[in-house]
Structure 1
Amino acid sequence: MNRLQLSASIVEREPVRYTPAGVPIASCTLQHRTEVVEAGIARQVELTMPAVAAGEASGKLENCGMGVETLFTGFLAKKSRNARTLVFHITEMQDTGKD
C-alpha cells in the first residue's frame, strides 16, 4: 500500500495551474520537523518535500495557511515517468491548530 501521512507546514506555494483537461493542480513545498526514537536513540528529523494536490484537494491546499501545521494524507509517486525524484500527492488535509 502506498499511503503517506505527514504533519507539516507549507513553506512555499506556486500559483494554481490547470491540466489540459481543466483539472486544477496546486503545488507547494512542505516542511516537517520532529524528534523520533530509532533503535532506542532520540533523533531529530527535519525535511522539506515537494507536494501537489489535484481537483478539489487543490482548493483546500490553496486555503491552508503558510506555516500552519497540518496533517497531510496522500501517496508518493515519481515526478514524471522517467524521474527518480518523488512527489507527495496530497488527497486529504486536516488543520492541527498548531503554528
Structure 2
Amino acid sequence: MNRVELSAQIIERKVLRYTPAGLPALDLVLAHESTVTEAQQDRKVKLDVKAVALGPVAEQLNRTDIGTSLLVTGFLGAPRNGRGVLLHITALTDIV
C-alpha cells in the first residue's frame, strides 16, 4: 500500500499550470514538524517535501495562503527527473 497522511504548511507554491490533457496541476513545497516515538524515545522530525496536486485539489491549493496548516493525503511517486520522492496530493483538509 502506498498512502501518506501528513500535517504540513505550504512554504512554496509555483504557478498553476495545465497538463497536456487539460488538467490543472500545481507544484508545491510543504514543511512538516512533529515529534514521534522511535525505539521508546521521542524524536523531533522536521522536513520539507516536494508535492504536486492535480485537478480540483490543485485549484483549491492555488487559492490557499502560503503558511496555511493542512492535513494532506496522497501517495509517493518519483518526480519527472526520477530523483528523490514526490508527494502526490489527492485530498486535503484545513487544520483549524
Length-normalised TM-score, structure 1: 0.91
Please name the residue that 1:56 is paired with.
Answer: 56
Question: Residue 89 of structure 1: SS of its match in structure 2?
Answer: strand
Corresponding residue for 1:8?
Answer: 8
Deviation at 1:84, TM superposition (A): 3.1
How far does the alpha carbon of each residue in 1:31-77 deviate from its partner, in whole angstroms, 9 at most, with x for none?
00011111111111000000000011111111222112100000011
The amino acid of 1:87's aligned partner reads L
Q: TM-score, normalised by structure 2?
A: 0.94
Give 1:87's aligned residue: 86
- Aligned pairs, number: 96
CA distance in 2, matches of 1:61, 1:91: 11
Gapped regions of structure 2 (runs ≥ 5) = none
1:33 matched to which residue of 2? 33
Partner of 2:77: 77
Q: Percent identity?
A: 43
Provide the C-alpha distance between the structure 1 equivalents of 2:76 and 2:90, rounded to a whole number of angstroms.
11
Q: What is the match of residue 23 of structure 2?
A: 23
Kindly state the Cα deviation for residue 88 of structure 1 after the two structures are TM-superposed. Answer: 0.3
